[in-house]
Structures are given as structure tokens and as C-alpha cells.
Structure 1
């Protein structure tokens, strides 16, 4: 049988039965425990070496559990002295560890041990670290992203002419979230011409995103809307409905690789000049959002040889449209 630690309720019974004069053997029999377990429990947790109190016994136990398996990092005085000296010289734990591995392997310690030495045993040394964080940031184990969006086509399968921006009709979509964390803007940018469509969304749900994209891109000729590239946000789960409505192909960036749709990310930065972070879009008139869209589309771009997105798009479309 595997051993189990005494619980708080068992300690309560031990205290009560001790007060009634029961022996260790009798208490052990009632708890289905060895009498030696009861003896050790009482001897370990006597208050001032004389009295067994329930609260103090539980606190002693919890303190032992908290401090169990604690070990000193950087055990030898030589290693500690070396690490402290180099930290004060501005060396990072990674550099110190690598240096020891190459030139003094017998005293080698990994950089993680040095970080633990700093944050657990010598917190005053946090001043020697580059970021000088008083508390260490939590590290979470790597988890494979869950497949939230069905039937994704990775961006690695996107045709070469789309990547090189040689053809027109390939768009990128993204969402700018408002300061109220509810409203937002859907931003769609054509990769070749940089033509930008901005739509206000009262909420950033997948259904609202789908409606905004279909409504805006349906106004363009079919041959100028052939693909859309998204990130992996939950607002893009209805991409197949958009594909069916617009007869387009969808592509998705790799997880945490939003830079792979750099056109819309760059435009988002321009939009933030007008609507800084924290802006509540529900309080912004739609006319103001439309004004910003026109300003961006009439803004000359170096990548377009200083022509505007409107000029390049109109040329591609073959007709003057606003």
C-alpha cells in the first residue's frame, strides 16, 4: 500500500482522542494507521516541544511540504563566486553558463540554475540582469495549438505569384480591436495595389467578420477577388462561408506568424495614427472611419512608385470607380 499523508480531518481526530486519553495504538487503530505514524506526527508537531495543537500541527506540516526537496543552486563556493562576479560585470546567465561549459566543464552549471540562484537565493542580483525584473515571469510548457479553424490551407501552399505580388486580386484580412474589447474594425488590404477597405464592426465575432468581408469584397469585380489570407484568430472560423459566397480561396498564416500578412499589418499601423490603441470604435462616427479609408487610399506609396492605391487599382480594374 502506498503511504498517504495525514489530512487535516485526521489531525482533528488525533487531537480529540488525545484529549480523551486514548493511546497511540488506539488512535492508529481507529484511523487505520500505524501507531508509529501517530507517534511521529505528535513528536514532529509539538508546540514549544510540549503541546499538540491542531492549528500549529497543520502549519508545521504545510511548511515542511513547501520546503521539501529544496536544494541549493551553485553548490561550490568557487562557482558561486564566479557567477556573482560575472553577473556584476554585466554578463548574462547564458553567457556565464556557456563560458563554463567551454573552459571549465567540471564547474559547469546551466543558465536555468543561475536564474534560480538569483531569484530564489540572491534576489538582490536581479539588478544585474538586463531586464531587472523583480519577479520572474512564468514559463508555460509548449503546447501544440489546437485546431480551432477547420479546413485551413496553410500559407505555404499559396501560389508563388501571390507571394511575389505579381497578380492582383489577393487580399489580407485582419481585425483591430477597440478599447471596449467588443467593437472593432475589419481591415482588408489588396496585396498588389494596397487598396484598403475598413469596416466598423459592433462586435468582433466570426459572424460579424464574415458579413463585413463579404459586403465589402462583393463590390469588387470577381477577377479582382481571388484569395484572402487570414491569421488564426477565432473570428475567421467562417472562412469557408466566405469562400463560397465570393468564390475565393483562403490561406492561413502559421500560428503566431502574423507578419506573414505584412500588408494589412502595415496598414493597421497607419490606422492607429488616427485611432490610437484604446479607442472605443463604437463612439467613432462611420463617416470618420470612411474618411480615414479614403485618406489611406489616396496616400502615395513608395512601393507603388509614389502612386496611390486608388490610382493603381483603377488602372487594374480598367474603369474609374470611387
Structure 2
């Protein structure tokens, strides 16, 4: 079969879709949404998003480049204060008729000051041309104003430092307002931080010392926006007699009493390694269990050692899922003096605090790696970093701060959410 010698230009301007792109841009200039414009020209919503936002190119699973947005700022929706091209054509026609600026504004439906500014800013040496004026105005609107984090060295340094400690953009945004209450130049909303992270080639995409396996500073590990995905956790049903969560004297949403813990394992590569996680339901304090082996005897021994320093008021119960690692739950209850309750199968919301904490810990211990490579000292460092992080649910106080106050008290008071 003979092939054509004509070459088709690659990239956003390639010939087969050039007419559709031009029509798509016209519709966007008229204020159409991305979805509506894409449907009108006969392309998918994904193609429309790529034209407006740009997209990465891959080869053999590796990022090879980035195709910039198709005149992203040019085709954005025009606000009510901007002149449309039809209005500029009408202004040019009325000016040729010799009408005054005030009369032109009245006929076009714009203020006289708007018409005066348009004729002054967008006219050329040969007079006012509507199409040239529209291109000038479009280019002026499309200029890149930049982000404050790019021009403010101190702000960029503070944000980078806190991201390196695995703080979320929301936590950083609230912290900046408290730390610099009088300096509004140091304030930054969380969305601006997300945008700075998601930009191609962002300097904020770098691993932290305690989580070197993650390039992204976000707990999701993402370097671009995408839909969140969750996988259902599946555990074998525990067979031995046990106390169920329905026998616990309070429902899962009740956190009014301190000293109730939730626990689970995060599993390593090929189910051959694990780390135990315990979190206090009210203060969200985390304690990690270094498990050389994944069995009931090891878990019993390590859990008894880690929780033996707690007074009875701070160790009232433990809630776990129905994993076989809790085969010694009766011995654990006897050793710690606290009952062990088991959740229903496939019901992770009954241990919501622990589920959320395990998600945070996956920043430091990603799925698919051998967890035996982490020492007890490394687990303690991760535990301390997580416990020192302020939480929105705790009014931006840290779990360690609240738990230390409870330990110092002879009669731990009940903290309300």
C-alpha cells in the first residue's frame, strides 16, 4: 500500500481538527461552557478540557512533554464588563457616522466611559478597527499575572517548609493567617497552594525526609487533579467468640469520652509485612506498632508494651476489625484491662478515625512496598510528626498537645468536639 508523502502537522493545530478547534474557541468566547462547546462541535468533554487546560504526553509510561492549553486565557468566558466583538463592530460603525461618544454608548448599551476607554486604548495609527481592537483586548486579558507564591520569597519558603512536613494546603492556609495576622501579603488560600503544586515543573513537587518515596507533598500523592478513587477493604470474618461493636456502650459517632482507641494493620507487599496502628478517638493521637511478624502473639506483645504507660482513664477500650491478627484478643483484654470490640465485616466507617489515620500514614508507607524495611525508630519519628500536626477538627491544635494535657491531669477531663 502506498502511503501519502504529505505530512500532517502534529500538536494542537493539526489539520483534521483545526475547524473544530476554531469553532470551539468561538463558542468559548461567546460564553459557552466547556461541556456545551465540546458537544456542539462534536468532540468529547475530555478533548475540550485538554484544549482549555493542556495535557501531558506519555511514551512507554513516562511523561515526555506537556501540550499547553489552546489559547487558554483567550477562550475563557468573557465577563459582563468586557466588550464582545459584535459590540466593537457596532462602535466602529457608529464612530464612522460621526456620532458622539455618549450617543455611541447609549446605542450600544454601554457607559460613555467604556466607549471612550475602548477608543483610546485599542485604536491604532490608522484609526479604530474592531477586529484589531478585539485582538488587542484579548491579548491584554490573556496576560499572565503570576501567582504571589512565585514573587514572594518568604511566603514560598514557608509554604515549602510546611509541605515538607506533610501539612495539607488547608492547614498551611489557616496557619499563615494565625502566624501573620497583620501581614496580608503572607496570606494564601488553599486553592492557590494546590495550583502551585499542580503546575508542570513545580518546585514544590519534592519528597520529604521522612517520606522519600513520595514525590508529591500531598497525602494523595498526586501531581495533577483527578477524581478520587477508593478501594473497599476486605477482611476475613473473625471466628472466635468476641465482643461486637454493637455491645460497646456508645455509638461510632460519639467521641465525648476520652480513652477509647481504634486499631488496624496497614499491610505491605504481598501481605508479608505489616505495621500496627492505634489512634485515640477523641484526640486523634497515633501510636504505631512495629511488628516483626504478623501474628497474634507478636501483636499481643507489642500492643501491651506500647499501651502499658497509659492510666486507666486513657485506656478504656480498643476497637478492631475482624482480622486474624487479633486471635489473642482475650489475652490483650486481660493484659491491658480494656475490652476489645470488633466491627462488622466490610464496615470501615465503624472505625472512621482509624481509617482516616491509615490514609495519612500511607504518605509514609505506600502500598506495595515491604514494611519490614522500616525500623522502630523510623516508625516513632513518623508517629511524632503526625501527632505534632494541627488538626482542623481539634480547632487547629495538635493531638500531642491535647494528649499531654490529659496525661498531666490526675483526672482526665472530657474534651468536646
What is the TM-score of this pair, normalised by structure 2? 0.40
Structure 1 pair 162–258 and aligned structure 2 pair: CA distance change class (3 A): closer
Distance 1:298 1:241 in 2: 32
Q: Which residue in 2 is equivalent to 1:213?
A: 303
- Residue by residue over 1:177-235, the C-alpha shift from the partner in whole angstroms, topping out at 9 and shown as x without a partner, is 11152221010110011111001111211111111211111121122101000100111
- Structure 1 gaps of 5+ residues are 1-144
Offset at 1:264?
A: 1.0
Map of 2:389 onto structure 1: 299
In the alignment, what sits opposite 1:200? 290
Select between 212-221 and 147-156 the one with higher mean Cα deviation: 147-156
Q: Which residue pairs with 1:224 in the alignment?
A: 314
What is the DSSP-based 3-state SS (H/G/I as helix, E as strand, rest coil) of the residue aligned with 2:243? Answer: coil
Change (3 A) 1:147 1:292: closer
Q: Contact 2:276/2:289 (CA < 8 Å) preserved in 1? A: yes
The 5-angstrom pairing of residues 166-315 of structure 1 reads 166-315=256-405
Q: Is the 8 A contact 1:200 1:281 kept in 2?
A: no
Distance 2:365 2:344 in 1: 28
Cα 1:161–1:312, aligned 2, differ >3 Å: closer, same or farther? Answer: farther
Give secondary structure in 1 for the equivalent of 2:403.
helix
Q: How far 1:252 moved relative to its partner?
A: 0.9
- For residue 176 of structure 1, give the secondary structure of its aligned residue in structure 2: strand
- Secondary structure, aligned partner of 2:362: helix
Contact 1:149 1:236 in 2 (8 A): no
Q: How many residues align?
A: 176
Residues 169 and 226 of structure 1 are in contact (CA less than 8 Å); yes or no, is this contact kept in structure 2? yes
**Structure (1 or 2) with the larger CA radius of gyration:** 1
Cα distance in 2, alignment partners of residues 147 and 156 from structure 1: 16
Distance 1:162 1:316 in 2: 22
Say whether the 8 Å CA contact 2:260–2:316 is kept in structure 1.
yes
Q: 1:318 to 1:149 in 2, by over 3 A?
A: farther
Q: CA deviation at 1:151?
A: 2.4
Residue in structure 1 matched with residue 250 of structure 2 by the alignment: 160
Q: Give secondary structure in 1 for the equivalent of 2:261.
A: strand
The CA distance in 2 between the partners of 1:178 and 1:163, in whole Å, is 30
Aligned partners of 1:219 and 1:162: how far apart in 2? 26
SS at match of 1:261: helix
CA deviation after TM superposition for structure 1 residue 173, in Å: 0.9
Q: CA deviation at 1:268?
A: 0.6
Runs of 5+ in structure 2 lacking a partner? 1-234, 411-417
Give the Cα–Cα distance (whole angstroms) in 1 for the partners of residues 331 and 380 of structure 2: 26
Matches of 1:284 and 1:255 in 2, distance apart?
Answer: 30
Distance apart, 1:318 and its partner CA: 2.1
Per mean C-alpha deviation after superposition, the further-off stretch among 206-215 and 300-309 is: 206-215
Summarize the Cα distance change of 1:281–1:194 in structure 2 as closer, same or farther, 3 Å threshold: same
What is the CA-CA distance between 1:176 and the residue it aligns to? 0.9
Output one character per residue of 1:114-161: Cα deviation in whole Å (capped at 9) or x when no partner.
Answer: xxxxxxxxxxxxxxxxxxxxxxxxxxxxxxx98744221111121127
Q: 1:257 to 1:232 in 2, by over 3 A?
A: same
What whole-Å deviation, never above 9, does each CA across 1:281-307 have from its counterpart, x for those lacking one? Answer: 221232221111001110111111110
Secondary structure of the residue aligned to 1:189 is: strand
1:318 aligns with 2:318: no
